[in-house]
Amino acid sequence: MKKRRLGKSDLEVSALGLGCMGMSFSYGQPKDKGEMIALLREAVGRGVTFFDTAEVYGPYTNEELVGEGLQPVRGQVKIATKFGFRIGAPGGGTAWERLDSRPEHIREVADASLKRLRTDVIDLFYQHRVDPAVPIEDVAGAVKVLIEAGKVRHFGLSEAGVETIRRAHAVHPVTAVQSEYSLWWRRPEEEVMPVLKELGIGFVPYSPLGRGFLAGKMDEHTRFGKDDFRSGLPRFAPEALKANQKLIELLGAMAKKRNATPAQIALAWLLEKEPWIVPIPGTTKLERLEENLGAAEIELTRGDLEEIENAAAQVAVEGQRYPEHLEQLTGR
């Protein structure tokens, strides 16, 4: 597996990481623990060195899974986790709607995450969502203290807007920004990515396969269970799935030309955008892991990229990615 450096930092990781959320959260019932530990270790054996989790995934159970699974190979991998929510707090709503990035809470989360991850240092510690009640300077300062204490190595932001990125970076260098980015969600190209390039910050796209849609296995007849996060997302409504098949046709045509799969082309396109981009596709199946990792070996030509861009420009993706109350938590 080829390696990449996140921005100007010294954090070097595999060109493709592994998003671990779906192993225990959001996409149906939690998967078998033993099978997921085996998958984590298989990923390491195939060259993956970058693993993404968060305390809110479960909550807590995903960090515990990742910690146990990677403990025997901890020296070979980098683990990213996140803070920023008040889990189990009274007041209604879900954990996703109860933001809490107070410095004292950040310290509490770091200590708890270290225990669950069975490690003495967090390689990359993201603010999961920007908390408007806490100045980003205070957040960056709190993480800076954790870095100076040796509990954290690198500071990251997730779904942050350009003003927040600049202000945080002025207090302590931001190593990476994580946001959704793929052929069916390209808004980061408008403002965020130019700022990352200017400041030397790495970019970690989550949902690089559009939560599975870009793999080409869904259509308007696809249904999701109530415990599947996608069941409440506008972009996964039957009418949107039907309308967005044009994007799959585009990927399918290029995949056929390159003897690849639509998912591999979607990931290869991301890898060709910038050398400081490290996508983190998630999966719970070995065959999907193998397929995704194969994307790192595909080198799209300038002609291929132009063909994809020209065709994608003709496709108007339909459906919002989040319900309004969750969309309000992004891009601040």
Catalytic residues: 57
Check: CB of residue 14 under 8 Å from CB of residue 48. Answer: yes
Rg (alpha carbons) of the chain, rounded to whole number: 19
What is the per-residue DSSP string for 174-187? EEEEEEE-BTTB-G
Beta strands in the chain (DSSP E): 3-5, 12-14, 18-19, 50-52, 78-83, 122-127, 152-158, 174-180, 202-206
* Angle, in degrees to the nearest 10, between helices 33-45 and 61-70: 50
Classified as helix, coil or strand, 295 is helix
Distances (CA, A) of 258 to 5, 147, 261: 27, 44, 8
Beta strands in 159-281 (DSSP E): 174-180, 202-206
